[in-house]
């Protein structure tokens, strides 16, 4: 019997992905259904519902679910969930769909049927509703007031931009997922379904597993976080995003090569597993840290490594707000409805010349001038500009891969530094 943490929601892995004869029959039926295109974010959410990564979700959220998640971190049935998972359509598209009708969901290019959906509810998402969602989901301690938040949010926050560009009506209802897109082939050996990672963890005899979230190439701080986790858990799941990022972020193929190099040369391989998941980043900071813990529970992880500025962007969030939010969320008493994956909270880490090694604010008594402050944003900026990377910032094997990547770019995106990247503390 498995010793792993149970999937979130108390219903096991709820997988909406069809296979075999059921898939062929649904594909045939979908040809005759009304077509709605989905955004890249919605496509990633569909795939996660398909493979059980978003258990217990089996469809896009109703208005009651959406409102409950925004306001109280809970769906209408009392299950914890931190971020809305919704799908939008234009008013014209929505007007042509009857409640109870099935529709076919195509990718943004209209080339592939991703899923079918039975529409059980339609609700308007005007500017007021979108702003409400953004304020609840994306506004952190970095903004003193709602007015402060909106002064820069639409210009500088990619998650806010994503929500504000959504169409004006949300469609709710259960889905049948028909495709995992390019991920199984493009990231063969890395992209995993939750059932696959759980099987590997069971085969290795692991019970306590910590997940490391990655959207940047691994630098020395990431490596150190993993090694702390290896010391206190049975193993670490280095779980990187292979969906869409914002301009200037480094693509998944390059990040996977960097992880491979680090694991090969600097880890005991039997204690580490690399995986990839198909979501787009929402850059929701604390709320996204909770989402990361929620779906890592489905992948079999009992701990979520949370360092400084987890899933943040710019200066929207307090440095350790993604840690403290775990103390503020509800824990429903009904079986399976609470978040069981706990945070593994680690302080700001860096290389210290006087300590002669990696350290954190909890272990190092020395000053800022003795430290190499490590940041994925800072690393990307230095490499994109051809600047010298300071000693102890990254492993040589990783830096070589990244330099090759930047050498091949025809166009470079300006990378803005923020407080967490420069070492300035956020207020």
Q: How does residue 5 score in pLDDT terms, banded at 50, 70 and 90? A: very high
Catalytic position from the list 41, 215, 282, 380: 215
pLDDT at 424: 52
Average pLDDT over residues 365-386: 83
Q: In terms of Cα–Cα distance, which of 319, 299, 301 is closest to 309?
A: 319
Question: Helix (H, G, I), strand (E, B), or coil: what is residue 383?
Answer: helix
Separation of alpha carbons 64 and 104, rounded Å: 24
Let me know if 118 is exposed, middle or buried by CB neighbors in 10 A (0-12, 13-18, 19+): middle
Predicted local confidence at residue 64, as pLDDT = 98
For the chain, the domains span: 20-125+166-179, 189-422
Rounded Cα distance between 204 and 113, Å, is 37
* List 170, 216, 271, 298, catalytic entry: 216
Residue 215 annotated among the catalytic residues of the structure: yes
Q: List the structure tokens of 159.
A: 């998650």
Averaged pLDDT score across all residues of the chain: 92
Reference 26, options 119, 113, 120, 121; nearest CA is: 113
Q: Is the pLDDT of residue 423 over 60?
A: no
pLDDT at 179 over 60: yes
pLDDT grade for 169, boundaries at 50, 70 and 90: very high
Please state, for a pLDDT cut of 70, what percent of the chain lies above it.
Answer: 95
Which of 373, 361, 367, 360 is closest to 420 using CA atoms?
Answer: 373
Q: What is the DSSP string of 30-79?
A: HTTSEEEE--HHHHHHHHHHHHTTTTT--EEPPHHHHHHHHHHSB-TTS-
- CA pair distance 330, 333, nearest whole angstrom: 9
Q: Structure tokens of 365?
A: 């008594």
> Is residue 387 within a helix (H) or strand (E), and if so which, with residue range?
none
- Give dist(CA 314, CA 381) in Å, integer: 14
For residue range 204-229, what is the model confidence (pLDDT) as tens digits?
A: 999 999 999 988 788 899 999 999 99
Q: Say what the pLDDT of residue 387 is.
A: 82
% of the chain surpassing 90 pLDDT: 80
User: What digits encode the pLDDT tens for the residues 322-355?
Assistant: 999 999 999 999 999 999 999 999 999 999 999 9
Q: Which two tokens stand for residue 176?
A: 């049948």
* Ramachandran quadrant class, 352 (left: phi over 0; alpha: psi -120 to 50; beta: rest): beta
Class for domain 20-125+166-179, per CATH? alpha beta
- pLDDT tens profile 22-39: 999 999 999 999 999 999
327 among known catalytic residues: no
Confidence tier at 413 by pLDDT (50, 70, 90): low
Quick: pLDDT tens for 377-406: 777 778 888 888 888 888 999 999 988 888
What CA–CA distances, in Å, run from 303 to 196, 212, 228, 236?
18, 9, 12, 9
| Choice between 426 and 27, residue whose per-residue pLDDT is larger | 27
Categorize the per-residue pLDDT at 417 as very low, low, confident or very high, splitting at 50, 70 and 90: very low
Q: Would you say the CATH fold of 189-422 matches that of 20-125+166-179?
A: no
pLDDT for 412 beyond 80:
no
Architecture of domain 189-422: 3-Layer(aba) Sandwich (3.40)
């Amino acid at each position: 019997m498995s010793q792993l943490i149970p999937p979130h929601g108390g219903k096991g892995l709820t997988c909406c992905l069809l296979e075999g004869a059921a898939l062929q029959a649904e594909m045939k039926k979908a040809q005759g259904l009304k077509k709605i295109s989905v955004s890249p974010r919605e496509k990633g959410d569909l795939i996660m519902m398909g493979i059980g990564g978003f258990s217990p979700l089996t469809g896009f959220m109703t208005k009651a679910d959406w409102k409950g998640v925004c306001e109280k971190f809970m769906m209408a049935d009392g299950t914890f969930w931190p971020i809305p998972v919704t799908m939008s359509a234009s008013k014209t598209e929505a007007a042509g769909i009857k409640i109870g009708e099935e529709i076919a969901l195509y990718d943004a290019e209209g080339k592939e049927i991703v899923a079918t959906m039975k529409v059980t509810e339609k609700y308007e998402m005007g500017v007021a509703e979108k702003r409400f969602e953004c304020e609840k989901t994306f506004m952190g301690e970095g903004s003193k007031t709602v007015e402060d938040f909106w002064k820069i949010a639409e210009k500088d926050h990619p998650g806010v931009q994503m929500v504000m560009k959504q169409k004006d009506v949300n469609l709710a209802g259960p889905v049948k997922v028909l495709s995992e897109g390019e991920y199984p082939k493009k990231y063969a050996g890395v992209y995993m379904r939750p059932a696959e990672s759980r099987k590997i963890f069971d085969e290795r005899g692991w019970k306590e597993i910590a997940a490391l979230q990655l959207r940047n190439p691994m630098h020395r701080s990431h490596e150190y976080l993993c090694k702390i986790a290896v010391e206190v858990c049975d193993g670490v799941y280095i779980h990187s995003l292979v969906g869409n990022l914002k301009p200037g972020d480094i693509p998944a193929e390059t990040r996977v090569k960097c992880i491979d190099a680090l694991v090969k040369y600097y880890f005991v391989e039997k204690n580490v597993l690399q995986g990839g998941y198909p979501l787009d980043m929402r850059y929701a900071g604390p709320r996204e840290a909770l989402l990361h813990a929620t779906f890592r529970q489905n992948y079999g992880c009992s701990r979520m490594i949370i360092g400084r500025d987890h899933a943040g962007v710019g200066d929207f969030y307090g440095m350790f707000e993604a840690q403290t939010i775990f103390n503020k969320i509800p824990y429903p008493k009904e079986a399976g409805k609470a978040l069981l994956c706990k945070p593994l909270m680690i302080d700001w880490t860096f290389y210290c010349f006087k300590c002669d090694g990696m350290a954190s604010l909890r272990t190092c008594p020395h000053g800022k001038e003795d430290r190499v402050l490590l940041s994925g944003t800072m690393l990307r900026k230095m490499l994109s500009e051809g600047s010298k990377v300071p000693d102890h910032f990254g492993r040589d094997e990783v830096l070589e891969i990244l330099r090759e990547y930047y050498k091949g770019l025809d166009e470079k995106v300006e990378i803005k530094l923020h407080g967490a990247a420069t070492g300035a503390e956020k207020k």
